[in-house]
Structure 1
Amino acid sequence: MTWEVLSMIGTIAFAISGAIVAMEEEYDIFGVYMLGIVTAFGGGAIRNLLIGVPISALWEQGLLFTIALLSITIILLFPSKLLKHWQKWGNFTDAIGLSAFAIQGALYATGMNHPLAAVIIAAVLTGSGGGMIRDLLAGRKPLVLKSEVYAIWAILAGLLIGINWVQSPIELYALFAVITGLRVYSYTHGWRLPIRKVEMN
């Protein structure tokens, strides 16, 4: 049940995120649906390829595809006045998707008895992969590659699950809330990772 709930939460959050970004970039309706679907499922597809899950497993998620399509349709029908507030709430939706999918990816990898490093990588790819694809298709610099603290929270989720500090459903939901809160706190307060610039003569 925990797995299914997190999958639904992440799918809704990232489908909405992709759809809004597409509308900001003035994509047509087909583009809005495409970017929403790619954002919702891109991270999981990359994870599956790297940890040995057949890519056909992606097409067995009929309910999640339906949920994603419904979420995108609802956003398309939202009044323009409400969508203007997306800039304020967009990062929050992205934080929810990051947290839910990072935990889901880590659980997927531990269920396949992969080592700790693979669990962390699965968490990062599932949590941020869809967002990276979304940003690249929209011509934006991916959040995960900026100095902004983003993927660190997916790494933390993968680490805690990989070392079995978080196991029960209650603990997983608590971790989801904590990771979401940390992501929101970090962008609200402008936390940044160090950067190294190269001077070009």
Structure 2
Amino acid sequence: MAWDVFSLIGTVAFAISGAIVAMEEEYDLFGVYILGIVTAFGGGAIRNILIGLPVSTLWNQELMFQFALLAITIFFLIPHHLFKQWSRWGYVTDAIGLSAFAIQGAMHAVHLELPIVAVIVAAVLTGAGGGVVRDLLAGRRPIILRHEIYAVWAASAGFLIGLEIFKGDLFLYFLFVSITFLRICSYTKGWSLPSKKIYYTK
């Protein structure tokens, strides 16, 4: 049950996130659908390649494709004046997608009995991969490379799931809410990891 729930939540959230970015960049309707679909399924495709699953498994998710297309269509038809803070909506849907797909990716790796390092990598790639592809196609610097904390939350979810200490759907739902909340906080409060810039003198 948890697997299906997180798949649906992540797919819809990232599809809308991609649609928001496409509309911000003034893409046409076709571009909105393309960016929404790529955002929703890009992370899973990258994960499958790196953990040895055939890319063709992506096409077995017909129902998820339908949900993604429906979500994009509904969001496109909603009058834009109802949303005063487009960027904030985009970060919220992105946070939801990051959390849901990070957990789903980690669950997938655990199911395949992969080591904890692979579980963490699967969580990061599934959670952040779609957003990276979205930002690159939109000509933006990927969120994962910015100062604010992003992929660390996905890695944390992968680590906790990979330990297999806590089990059960209740833990996974609690983890989903926690990761989503922390990601939103890192955006709104400006939390960031240490960084260092190299200056060259002439």
1:91 CA drift (Å): 1.1
Q: Given the two structures, how large is their TM-score scaled by the length of structure 2?
A: 0.97
Equivalent position of 2:62 in the other structure:
62
1:99 CA drift (Å): 0.3
Equivalent position of 2:118 in the other structure:
118
Query: Are residue 93 (structure 1) and residue 98 (structure 2) matched?
Result: no
Unaligned runs of 5+ in 2: none
For the residues of structure 2 that align with 1:33 and 1:84, how far apart are their CA atoms? 22
Equivalent position of 1:20 in the other structure:
20
1:173 CA drift (Å): 0.4
CA root-mean-square deviation: 0.9
Query: Are residue 164 (structure 1) and residue 164 (structure 2) matched?
Result: yes
Equivalent position of 2:79 in the other structure:
79
Structure 1 residue runs of 4+, over 6 Å off?
Answer: none
1:85 CA drift (Å): 2.8
Q: Output aligned runs, 1:33-48, within 5 Å.
A: 33-48=33-48
Q: Does structure 1 retain, via aligned residues, the 8 Å contact 2:149–2:193?
A: yes
For the residues of structure 2 that align with 1:31 and 1:200, how far apart are their CA atoms? 41
Deviations 1:13-55 (A, max 9, x none): 0000000100100111111000000000000000000001111
1:145 CA drift (Å): 0.8
Q: Given the two structures, how large is their TM-score scaled by the length of structure 1?
A: 0.97
1:165 CA drift (Å): 2.7
Deviations 1:97-119 (A, max 9, x none): 00000000000000001000000
For the residues of structure 2 that align with 1:16 and 1:22, how far apart are their CA atoms? 10
Equivalent position of 2:181 in the other structure:
181
Equivalent position of 2:108 in the other structure:
108
For the residues of structure 2 that align with 1:40 and 1:200, how far apart are their CA atoms? 41
What is the one-letter code of the residue matched to 1:65? Answer: F
Equivalent position of 1:146 in the other structure:
146
- In terms of mean alpha carbon deviation, does 63-72 or 160-169 score higher? 160-169
1:200 CA drift (Å): 3.3
For the residues of structure 1 that align with 2:168 and 2:177, how far apart are their CA atoms? 14
For the residues of structure 1 that align with 2:181 and 2:37, how far apart are their CA atoms? 25
Deviations 1:41-82 (A, max 9, x none): 000000000001111100000000000000000111010202
For the residues of structure 1 that align with 2:102 and 2:142, how far apart are their CA atoms? 17
| Secondary structure at 1:113 match in 2 | coil
Deviations 1:152-196 (A, max 9, x none): 100100000000133200110011011111111111111011112
What is the one-letter code of the residue matched to 1:15? Answer: A
For the residues of structure 1 that align with 2:200 and 2:59, how far apart are their CA atoms? 47
Q: Does structure 1 retain, via aligned residues, the 8 Å contact 2:106–2:123?
A: yes
Identity across the alignment (%): 63
For the residues of structure 1 that align with 2:118 and 2:105, how far apart are their CA atoms? 10
